[in-house]
């Protein structure tokens, strides 16, 4: 089997690539130049260091020739902020690429596609009263991405959308996504004040397994990925341990207090003409819920195996802290 991965040197795409190669499959990938010197690229992984968005359809089709499956492990997440309307930026990098790639994949006789999405689209389905797509441009982009991708599914072309939760694990040389959260925790010197609620989570290796499993299962649909579930208090206690303050208490605050703090941040954004992908005030209604996903819903059927989540959390937090303290030079998320 030959698999084309968009974003094959990224945190999650690279995990899938390693597993596919270990299973004797061929992998070809697009990645933004230059070649990362911190990655140990397998000899039989072909990487094209080009911005695929700048290639012609004919060029992309040539690379797709002979491939059995397409994995989209690129795009941008809620950390990206900008001038309003921010949805346009999410559309440009999360949806517009699929409007080119998926029809081209079908034209190239690729049999399946796996899209790495967000678990927010799952909660949009089960908690409709929160109107997540109305209030949060990022979540709307993920739901629109999912709906567009699935609209192209057919008997001859399966489309799987992995709805991915918090992911822990590191890629040496790459800045973890948790630097923002770690920085907020460090600002609170004596105690950490956080709302109730919690989240589903997986390790990087487990996401790689889910991608490979979705390719092999070859069945269209959405796959809400979850394996471990922790309350924020449980998760942040591990964060504190990793930061060397294991006795620091996590104090659960009412959602309305969280919203007051969020409102002040949003006011500062507005003054600077910046829009976030998440309406931070409205987000309080979601983050204060237990955003849990049982492994029985999708992870098990995709062949995801058990892993050790606590060391993965600790590694992510420690590397985030090193980045904040400028102890090590790390690469930020790049999308252009």
Give the helix/strand (H/E) hosting 115: strand 112-118
Report the distance separating Cα 85 and Cα 312, nearest Å: 35
pTM of the model: 0.97
CA 287 to chain centre: 17
Is 2-165+203-225+292-304 a domain of CATH 3.40.50.720?
Answer: yes
Alpha helix positions (H), 152-201 = 179-187
Task: Render pLDDT for 41-100 as a digit per residue (tens, 0 to 9).
Answer: 888 899 999 999 999 999 999 999 999 999 999 999 999 999 999 999 999 999 999 999
264-323: pLDDT as tens digits: 999 999 999 999 999 999 999 999 999 999 999 999 999 999 999 999 999 999 999 999
Contact 44, 2 (CB under 8 A): no
């Amino acid at each position: 089997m030959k698999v084309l991965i968009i974003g094959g040197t990224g945190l999650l795409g690279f995990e899938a690539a390693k597993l596919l190669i270990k299973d004797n499959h061929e992998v070809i990938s697009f990645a933004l130049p230059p070649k990362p010197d911190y990655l140990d690229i397998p000899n039989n992984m072909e990487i094209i260091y080009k911005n695929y968005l700048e290639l012609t359809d004919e060029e992309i089709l040539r690379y797709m020739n002979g491939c059995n499956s397409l994995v989209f492990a690129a795009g941008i997440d809620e950390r990206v902020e900008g001038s309003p309307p921010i949805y346009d930026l999410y559309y440009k990098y999360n949806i517009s690429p699929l409007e080119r790639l998926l029809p081209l994949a079908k034209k190239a006789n690729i049999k399946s596609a796996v899209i790495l999405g967000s678990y927010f689209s799952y909660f949009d389905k089960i908690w409709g009263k929160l109107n997540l797509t109305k209030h949060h441009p990022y979540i709307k982009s993920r739901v629109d991405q999912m709906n567009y991708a699935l609209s192209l599914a057919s008997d001859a072309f399966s489309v799987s959308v992995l709805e991915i939760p918090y992911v822990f694990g590191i890629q040496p040389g790459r800045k973890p996504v948790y630097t923002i959260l770690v920085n907020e925790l460090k600002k609170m010197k004596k105690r950490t004040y956080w709302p109730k609620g919690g989240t589903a989570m997986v390790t990087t290796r487990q996401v790689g397994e889910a991608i490979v499993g979705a390719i092999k299962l070859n069945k269209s649909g959405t796959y809400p990925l979850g394996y471990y579930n922790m309350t924020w208090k449980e998760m942040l206690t591990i964060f504190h341990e990793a930061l060397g303050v294991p006795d620091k208490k996590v104090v659960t605050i009412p959602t309305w207090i969280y919203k007051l703090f969020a409102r002040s941040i949003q006011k500062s954004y507005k003054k600077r003409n910046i829009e976030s992908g998440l309406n931070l005030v409205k987000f309080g209604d979601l983050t204060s819920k237990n955003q849990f996903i049982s492994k029985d819903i999708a992870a098990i059927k995709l062949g995801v195996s058990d892993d050790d989540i606590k060391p993965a959390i600790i590694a992510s937090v420690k590397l985030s802290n090193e980045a904040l303290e400028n102890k090590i030079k790390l690469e930020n998320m790049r999308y252009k």
